[in-house]
């Protein structure tokens, strides 16, 4: 009888611990905007700079919810060509999207360990040249 009571107590404690861990992880979940901002800050801080070119600018309305602004660009790192896009919706205050034109030269910051991870604009850095 004592072992059954002890087993129930351990089982209840384990379930409580699992629920507390689930609640803590759920509470501390970052929004996609926060993760993207942290990515920009990381690349802006540790990234290397190379030359690139703006290939297109898009303004889209996916699923009818708000407007998303994307800037498409290409760049080369160690003989490999990359084409990338960056969502600049939350960075509108730093640049005029309509002043971006095709073929506009830009500086691109990229992660040296993953050159496909890159940006052309962040909160404290703008690679677009006028």
Give the chain's domain count.
2
Same domain? 44 vs 26: no
Number of H helices, E strands in the chain: 2, 7
Same domain? 39 vs 22: no
pLDDT of residue 13: 74
* pTM for the predicted model, two decimal places: 0.72
At residue 40, does pLDDT exceed 80? yes
DSSP 3-state of 55: strand
DSSP 3-state of 85: strand
At residue 31, does pLDDT exceed 80? yes
Query: What range defines the domain where residue 2 resides?
Result: 1-30
pLDDT digits (tens, 9 = 90+) for 49-105: 999 999 988 888 877 777 888 899 999 999 999 999 998 888 877 776 666 677 889
Same domain? 40 vs 9: no
């Amino acid at each position: 009888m004592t072992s059954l009571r002890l087993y129930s107590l351990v089982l209840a404690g384990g379930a409580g611990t699992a629920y507390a861990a689930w609640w803590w992880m759920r509470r501390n979940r970052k929004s996609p905007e926060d993760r993207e901002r942290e990515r920009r800050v990381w690349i802006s801080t540790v990234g290397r700079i190379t030359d690139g070119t703006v290939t297109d600018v898009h303004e889209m309305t996916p699923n009818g919810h708000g407007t998303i602004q994307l800037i498409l660009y290409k760049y080369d790192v160690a003989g490999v060509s990359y084409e990338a896009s960056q969502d600049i919706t939350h960075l509108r205050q730093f640049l005029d999207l309509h002043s971006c034109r095709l073929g506009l030269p830009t500086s691109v910051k990229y992660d040296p360990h993953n050159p496909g991870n890159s940006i052309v604009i962040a909160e404290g850095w703008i690679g677009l040249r006028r």
